[in-house]
Amino acid sequence: MIAADCSAEKRTIALILHDRIFQYKSELTEQRNLFKTHPARWASLLTALPATFMSAVSMTYILMAPEGFRLGAGIAYPVGIGFAAALFALYVRMGSRTASQSVS
């Protein structure tokens, strides 16, 4: 019974992570459209920076929370920051690709 409960918790955590990534992808799509259509293309950073911060907060919480992975702060904070940095780098890369395609 304990193993089944643990497995259910892991499935729940996986679903939460999947939902957060899906939410970030939809935010990213909106930001790419803003990046593509707005005259001042870097105005999209107004939405990208808060999304990046919240991604770090969400990942850190999932890793540290009692209902999450229960990892220590020494592991959770760097992983959360790395996760957010990777998503922001992906955003910048996709945005620059969009900008170069719209110029061509």
Domain housing 66: 2-103
pTM for the predicted model, two decimal places: 0.61
The mean pLDDT of 63-81, rounded to a whole number, is 95
Determine the length of the chain: 104
Residue 62 has pLDDT above 80, yes or no: yes
Residue 48 has pLDDT above 90, yes or no: no
Count the Cβ atoms, other than its own, within 10 Å of residue 72.
Answer: 9
- Contacting residues for 42 by C-beta, under 8 A, at least 6 apart: none
Nearest to 91 by CA among 46, 41, 48, 59: 48
The mean pLDDT of 71-84, rounded to a whole number, is 96
Number of domain units in the chain: 1
Written as six digits, the tokens of 56 are 């770090």
Nearest to 24 by CA among 67, 79, 86, 66: 86
